[in-house]
Amino acid sequence: MIRKSLPTLAIAAVSFALLDIPAARAASQTLDKIREVGKITFGYREASIPFAYLGVDQKPTGLSLDLCSTVADKIKAVLQRPELGIEYVPVNASNRIPLLQNSTIDVECGSTTNTADRQKQVAFSVATYVASPRWLVSASSQVMEPKGLDGQTVVITQGSLNFGVAKKIIDDQKLNVTIVQAKDHAESLLMLGTGRAMAWFEDDILVAGLVANASDPKAFRMLAATYAPSYYGLMTRRDDPEFKALVDAAIKEKMASGGFERLYAKWFESPIPPKGQNLQLPMSDAMKARVVSPSDALLP
């Protein structure tokens, strides 16, 4: 028992030393706010399987929620306030950044892509997932490559970073494509499934999650074409680097202890609620590299 606990204790001791707890208490506006109101507020997505979504009990669940629970434990330890409450606030692609900026939420526990433009507004934790956007079409569709979308209507989720990526693909290939936007990922899949759109463009894992829990997962397929990787992270306020350091420390500890790999297996390689579907997505080499060397860098 003692020998098994030593690595974890060593990791915790190092991370706490690096974080400089007294400095974090004094300098972090977010920690000050949490101490004052007596609770931590997490923003979550309602349909971003398997990162953040509503489970069978209509409570938020997913990989990002598990990681935020780890962050909550770290906050309680830093503030020495084990009794701190946790509040969950639903957010979407359009309001997640404003709600973080105005302090309605303290951390966004979703599936948000870290970009240089977004870094001008918010901060991101070390990468929690490496994704690549792809086109999803109906299994019965004759479309085999993006050129086959010429003359068709495609759907992009409102607020998704992939709107710009899809627009560039369409422009570069000189395709005559009409783009419509859905309010969330669930509606995007619905529009594809009901024939109101020929294809949906979104990160592969988000697509896989929605399809796995669709009434007929075999009714859809992804096109083979993949695009530049992107990096997901938990969002925090840009003007609070001390709080970001705390969030990073919590995730790094999870990665160093092997806990992150277990969470990955739980959400990507095992049956998950609400329908017990298995996404069957082993950890990519790019994700493995980020577990070994955690980073919020935008390049491989």
Give the CATH number of the domain where residue 61 resides. Answer: 3.40.190.10
Show which of 167, 194, 222 is a domain's final residue.
Answer: 222
CB 257 within 8 A of CB 31: no
Report whether pLDDT(19) > 60: no
Tens digits of residue pLDDT in 171-181: 999 999 999 99
Share of the chain above pLDDT 70, in %: 91
The answer as to whether 111 is a domain residue is yes
The answer as to whether 64 is a domain residue is yes
What is the secondary structure of 153-168 as a DSSP string?
A: EEEEETT-THHHHHHH
- Best CA proximity match to 16, nearest among 221, 252, 208, 240: 252
Count how many residues are written for the chain. 300
Share of the chain above pLDDT 90, in %: 77
Report whether pLDDT(9) > 90: no
- This prediction has a pTM of 0.76
pLDDT the model gives residue 119: 97
pLDDT the model gives residue 41: 98
pLDDT the model gives residue 213: 81
Q: How far apart are alpha carbons 191 and 203 in whole angstroms?
A: 17
User: Is 126 found in the same domain as 13?
Assistant: yes
CB 30 within 8 A of CB 77: no
How confident is residue 227, by pLDDT bands cut at 50, 70 and 90?
confident
Tens digits of residue pLDDT in 109-161: 999 999 999 999 999 999 999 998 999 999 999 999 999 999 999 999 999 98
- Interval 34-47 mean pLDDT: 97
User: Is 32 found in the same domain as 7?
Assistant: yes
- Best CA proximity match to 166, nearest among 176, 180, 181, 156: 156
Show which of 206, 222, 238 is a domain's final residue.
Answer: 222
User: Is 79 found in the same domain as 13?
Assistant: yes
How confident is residue 288, by pLDDT bands cut at 50, 70 and 90?
very high
The answer as to whether 155 is a domain residue is yes
User: Is 190 found in the same domain as 160?
Assistant: yes
The answer as to whether 124 is a domain residue is yes
What residue numbers bound the domain in which 159 lies? 133-222
The answer as to whether 269 is a domain residue is yes
Amino acid symbol at 211:
V
Lowest-confidence segment of 1-5, 11-15, 89-93, 152-156 by average pLDDT: 1-5
Lowest-confidence segment of 70-74, 163-167, 283-287 by average pLDDT: 283-287
List the structure tokens of 229: 């990787």
Report whether pLDDT(257) > 70: yes
The answer as to whether 237 is a domain residue is yes
Residue with tokens 């068709």: 152
User: Is 217 found in the same domain as 155?
Assistant: yes
User: Is 264 found in the same domain as 189?
Assistant: no
pLDDT the model gives residue 25: 46
User: Is 120 found in the same domain as 138?
Assistant: no
Q: How far apart are alpha carbons 281 and 263 in whole angstroms?
A: 13
User: Is 234 found in the same domain as 98?
Assistant: yes
pLDDT the model gives residue 224: 86
Amino acid symbol at 226:
T
Show which of 173, 191, 222 is a domain's final residue.
Answer: 222
User: Is 137 found in the same domain as 125?
Assistant: no
User: Is 126 found in the same domain as 236?
Assistant: yes
- Best CA proximity match to 250, nearest among 226, 269, 270, 234: 234
The answer as to whether 297 is a domain residue is no
The answer as to whether 298 is a domain residue is no
What is the average pLDDT score of the chain?
90
pLDDT the model gives residue 131: 92
User: Is 252 found in the same domain as 208?
Assistant: no
User: Is 9 found in the same domain as 111?
Assistant: yes
How confident is residue 12, by pLDDT bands cut at 50, 70 and 90?
very low
- Interval 267-283 mean pLDDT: 89
Structurally, the chain folds into a number of domains equal to: 2
Half-sphere exposure of 33 (CA within 13 A, CB side): 14
